[in-house]
Amino acid sequence: MRRKVIAGNWKMNMLPNEAIDFVNALAPLVKDSKNEVIICVPFTDLFYTLLTVQDTNIHVGAQNMHWKENGAYTGEVSADMLKCINVEYVIIGHSERRQYFNETDETVNLKVKQSLAKGLKPIVCVGESLEEKEAGKTIEVITSQISKALDGLTLDDLSNTIVAYEPIWAIGTGKTATADDANDSIKAIRNEIKSKFGTDDISILYGGSVKAENAKELFTMSDIDGGLVGGASLKADSFSKIVNFDK
């Protein structure tokens, strides 16, 4: 369902005590927001974070999972393991996982399907590299990525899915896509989803150096439904300003 969502991605940052302090600081700052607030935290913070968000409007996600049910996959975490402690969301296919951990369109699709089958809601990331952007291939790359990532999903699955468009050259670099360019890319993703499923009733977020200063311009564009925020999600104060972009 299309709605405004602001999701934080802590990446490999924050110890459990820092996660608890963060939630306690963030909760009063965002309690009146109509936007959905999600924090995607390291596995070791999940349990503490989930206990601390009780009675708040903050939702919790993981940053990855394996697509297999269980088995000899040392170091991996399954969808059931996340679901049984009440994790709600899981980021799938973040560019850092594609770049450093051999995530492919195929494994992204397997993970998306497994997350949904187990009752988790995936936040599916797509985005072009700088080389692809400079070669004029942005739309080709991101429509192909989203088509493969969502392959085999039902309409019900789609209603439990969030997409994040994150140009790789904008992640953690301080360079942000212009609001018009981000909107055009997200519109293309929306059109691809519409041609595949007959509906584009899905939240599509922008990610890539979002901060309090640029959130409003980006999130009020026609096709952008909020953001996936890395660096600026590590401090409750800066993250709350992004969540409250519409205040």
Which residues lie near ligand PEP (CB under 6 A)?
9, 11, 166, 171-172, 207-210, 228-232
- Torsion angles phi and psi, residue 88, rounded to 5: -105, -40
Question: Which CB atom, from 42 or from 231, has the smaller least distance to ligand PEP?
Answer: 231
Give the nearest distance from C-beta 10 to ligand PEP in angstroms.
9
How far apart, in whole angstroms, are the C-alpha atoms of residue 190 and residue 194?
Answer: 6
Which residue number has the CB closest to ligand PEP?
Answer: 230
Contact 206, 199 (CB under 8 A): no
Nearer to ligand PEP, 97 or 190 (CB): 97
CB of 88 to ligand PEP, least distance (A): 18
Q: Which of 36, 66, 94, 96 is catalytic?
A: 94
Q: What is the number of alpha carbons within 13 Å of residue 24 lying toward its C-beta?
A: 8
Number of Cβ atoms within 10 Å of the Cβ of 153: 21
In the complex with ligand PEP, the residue whose CB is nearer, 23 or 242, is 242
**Least distance in angstroms from the C-beta of 176 to ligand PEP:** 8
Q: Which helix (H) or strand (E) holds 109?
A: helix 105-117
Angle (nearest 5°) at CA 6 between 5 and 12: 135
Is 166 one of the annotated active-site residues of the chain? yes
Catalytic residues: 94, 166
